[in-house]
Chains A and B, each alone.
Chain A
């Protein structure tokens, strides 16, 4: 298994590296830490300015990688590469394909609150084009250097889409030999004002949703192999953040969410609910592409996948 970490010289890159290190401590995982550099001109330029730039880039990459190597330490298997590409996304996707990566780990953009994830431009593009699951690291994610993955939580809505997420979570859980937790979020902040049918109408809807979710959960759990330790539950809150915060989270947790419809107009990869979960989650989130190969595990049956560009 190979996990790709998108390295940058800033705090976001460091956070991603910390997550990669944590994940690689369990399961049979090799990290590929990759820094993407801008492409330089292939042909001679005036006064060799571009060559000078190229050598600057090379030493910059070397420094960053050296720092990363020191940060990761020897406890996990890791390779360090630098690659040149027109865009960071392109470089990451190419490297992911070359190294046959099973997961891409990315850091957060600088805006957004500490302890949560904010989608930046590279993440956004990756979320639209990545053929493999993407792990998103909250800002300021800093587990202890000995931290290990402890539990996988899957956000489950009972739809076909979350079925993919569920499968992926099961595979992650088997690979890393960690227990699985299945949760459905019930959010109640959707009341209409004014309302002629009472201001508790949405609680009725929320209750029906809870009942449906529990049914879907038990259906999903029935298909689960014996060797996976699992717990299931429904949590509710007035909004996504409150619902997610009402769960007990420990160090070393990972949340798995599905991704959304691939519309004909725009390939929106992260749906509105997943977006809210990603934004509100206090722990790293793994987003599973819909319909893409979920080959997180050797034993996986690969799904029909549309060719990703």
Chain B
């Protein structure tokens, strides 16, 4: 298969890799950016982007699904995440552009698949930032309660499906992040490091305190719901591993990517999984697995129950409030830039890639994203958001794993900064694991996902297929680089 001109008419048209490269490296002086990210920093990026997406809220959802065997679920989800991250890294190093798996798919599997992946990414980024901000709302309430003895009324703290009217704090969080992004605020590598320290510190605090009330009895029966339960829990838990892609996409700015990338992925996965499992073990050691169901701001509540005093819960809540804020900022940012890349390709209206001359930020794009995410965060129950996020992420990752195989066959000579070790076993395993976890998601999620893809298909065929710059023969090779 080659990208010949008759193919331009097909919805499977592919954007040449060279076109991507020209678009991001037009000016020579900026082209060879310093390969400045080292192993330690990259690992920190992975840990920083990952911890905080879910561990503060996931036990409530996952432990009742699997019982103490949730530990196995964590390992399963961790392995899957690491395998997909490695595959992701190969594509990212071959097609060094932003826009993440959307761009990779555009180059390997064609436009319509790319659009579908973009729809999945909207779940991975947009919906996950909504889910994360709902968790933030719980911890904010817990923090207020511990500090001031004040609780927000349920009506403004829960989505309509969960007995409230709207989730007001979650909307506030999205608005705050929106304002920051519109002003061009950025999280720097230093801030990220500080965030990592805060997150890990409060989680370790939790583990230490929880171990003082540890009871082995809570671990029997180990897997009350059998292997099925483990799979179901893993499918929810996968949500907490989102963010590992922060490592994979670093390809061209990394010293010696061949060595650094896989090591950083492995180290980040090990650190993250270890922390998660410690938290899970400590939590289960304190209470029966059934007690987790419905616990809001779960970790803080457990601490309060053990110690009988407010301060450990307050410290943990404060840590959660600060670090979830930064995670929301990073994910929202990712979402705006994916839509930006799509706007550039003509898949979305011009409004998504206009830049405000004052802030030098795609302001309208950011506003649209934040309204969408804010509405989700305010009005959709947390469980639904989490499952949808896992769904979107896993589908995107499966496509990426398959994409590695496709690109190796169609364009074997393309320079690759990083190659998947153990090819072809690794991408096949990766896709296999991801598909298994997908199969464990509840029916309702599949239904919602189908609706979502349907909406995406309508948008694609009514707008994008006609406006695609590739279809109109524009700009594939882009204007001459100056």
Contact = CB atoms under 8 A, between A and B. Distances in A.
Interface of A: 157-159, 161-162, 187-188, 190-201, 203-205, 207-210, 212-213, 216, 236, 260, 271, 273
Given A200-B24, A200-B253, A201-B337, A195 B246 contact: yes
A196 B358 contact: no
B324 interface: no
A208 B352 CA distance: 11
A273 B246 contact: no
Given A192-B187, A193-B188, A196-B243, A207 B249 contact: no
Nearest to A273: B358
| Interface residues of chain B: helix, strand, loop or mixed (majority) | helix
B330 A196 contact: yes
Contacts of B90: none
Contacts of B67: none
Contacts of A207: 23-24, 26
Interface of B: 23-27, 29-30, 33, 37, 44-46, 48-49, 92, 96-100, 125, 184, 186-189, 191-192, 242-243, 245-246, 249-253, 330-331, 333-334, 337-338, 340-341, 344, 353-355, 357-358, 360-362
B354 to A, nearest CB: 7
Contact of A236 (B30, B242, B330): B30
Given A190-B184, A193-B187, A196-B245, A236 B27 contact: yes
Contacts of B37: 199
A239 B86 CA distance: 33
B357 A193 contact: no
Contacts of A212: 354-355, 357
B340 A204 contact: yes
A197 B337 contact: yes
Given A207-B26, A209-B360, A199 B186 contact: no
A199 B249 contact: yes
Contacts of B192: 193-194
Contact of A205 (B25, B44, B245, B362): B362
A192 B340 contact: no
A158 B357 contact: yes
Contacts of B186: 190-193
Nearest to A274: B358
A195 B330 CA distance: 7
Given A159-B357, A193-B187, A199-B250, A204 B30 contact: no
B349 to A, nearest CB: 14
B48 A194 contact: yes
Contact of A195 (B242, B249, B252): B249
Contacts of A158: 357
B45 A187 contact: no
The 8 A-B residue pairs with the shortest CB-CB distance, nearest first, are: A194-B45, A201-B98, A194-B246, A198-B98, A198-B249, A157-B357, A159-B357, A194-B49
Nearest to B47: A194
A213 B48 CA distance: 35
Contact of B97 (A192, A193, A200): A200
B245 to A, nearest CB: 5
Contacts of A197: 98-100, 249, 333-334, 337-338, 341
A198 B92 contact: yes
Contacts of B353: 208
Most A CB within 10 A of own CB, among B25, B98, B188, B189:
B98
A191 B27 CA distance: 17
A158 B98 CA distance: 26
Contacts of B333: 192, 195, 197
Nearest to B95: A198
Given A193-B186, A196-B100, A196-B125, 20 more contacts: A157-B358, A192-B330, A193-B45, A193-B187, A194-B192, A195-B333, A197-B333, A197-B338, A198-B96, A198-B97, A198-B249, A200-B253, A201-B340, A204-B24, A205-B362, A212-B357, A213-B357, A236-B29, A273-B358, A273-B360
Given A191-B186, A198-B98, A208-B355, A203 B245 contact: no
A161 B359 CA distance: 13
A198 B338 CA distance: 10
B330 A203 contact: no
A306 B189 CA distance: 44
Contacts of B361: 205
B202 to A, nearest CB: 19
27 contacts: A157-B357, A190-B186, A191-B186, A192-B330, A194-B187, A194-B192, A194-B330, A195-B337, A196-B334, A197-B334, A197-B337, A198-B99, A198-B249, A198-B250, A200-B24, A200-B97, A200-B253, A201-B337, A203-B98, A204-B99, A204-B340, A204-B344, A207-B23, A208-B353, A213-B357, A236-B30, A271-B358
Contacts of A213: 357
B36 to A, nearest CB: 9
A216 to B, nearest CB: 8
B357 A162 contact: yes
A213 B356 CA distance: 11
A83 to B, nearest CB: 37
A188 B33 CA distance: 11
A192 B360 CA distance: 14
A204 B337 contact: yes
B189 A193 contact: yes
